[in-house]
Amino acid sequence: MEIKNTKFMKGIRGTDEILLDDVPQTAFVGRSNVGKSSVINALTNNKSLAKVGKKPGKTTEINFFLINSTFYIVDLPGYGYAQASLKEKQKLKNLIVWYLTYSEAKPKAVVLVLDVKAGLTEFDKEMLMVLTEEEHPCVIAVNKIDKMKQGEVTEVVYSIKKEYPKAHVMTCSTKTGKGIAALRARLFA
Ligand code: GDP
């Protein structure tokens, strides 16, 4: 799908009418610094839609972007910024879990973005558990593959698939652009 226009709609921290307006949602979740904002920008061909390298820990809201006037990209807050306090981290996790579990949202797909070097962290495993329980279709986007040799990337993907046979695992690099078109086709076709 060609991305023709993108528009920031609003950031929410709890229930909101935007969750009920019947516009399909594709949500993105990931630990802070995995490249979630970069992936959103690469997918939408918009270098400044989600704020890359924004002061980490600053985004404490769930941001809605309207794409081609037809669907939302939902950017969930990055989790686990090292300098955030335990209380702040917990608050963000609660907001993410609220969106995935208790809110009225029924996302068409949830994309879990990983850094290939970090692999699946405890947070990612918790998210995969929630996604499975809630039966949200899930795509795992393994990002920053430019940082590793192809053979090592294949090993990481293999081990994720072994642990989560039902997850759809894809690889990409926003730096080289590899895998972005395939991810876009999978998510927005
Ligand atoms: P977020 O916190 O998950 O939204 O991550 P950002 O998109 O802000 O990116 C965090 C850092 O990772 C930035 O310095 C990006 O330039 C860098 N980054 C993002 N994607 C890639 C990638 O594919 N390869 C490499 N090497 N760096 C990346």
In the three-class reduction of DSSP (H, G, I as helix; E, B as strand; rest coil), residue 113 is classed as: strand
Residues 38 and 47: their CA atoms lie apart, in Å, by 8
Domain hosting residue 102, numbered range: 6-188
pLDDT band at 80 (very low <50, low <70, confident <90, very high): confident
pLDDT band at 166 (very low <50, low <70, confident <90, very high): confident
Domain presence at residue 20: yes
Q: What is the pLDDT of residue 189?
A: 84
Q: What is the pLDDT of residue 54?
A: 60
Sign of CA dihedral 164, 25, 61, 173: positive
Domain presence at residue 1: no
Domain presence at residue 144: yes
Q: How many domains does the chain have?
A: 1
Q: Which residue has the least CA distance to atom 19 on ligand 1? A: 35
Provide the token pair at 18: 């935007």
- Are 107 and 136 a contacting pair, CB within 8 Å? yes
CA distances from 28 to 78, 83, 140 (A): 9, 22, 10
CATH value at residue 120: 3.40.50.300
Domain presence at residue 105: yes
Q: Is 116 close to ligand 1, i.e. is its CB under 6 Å away?
A: no
Ligand 1 centroid, distance to 38 Cα (angstroms): 6
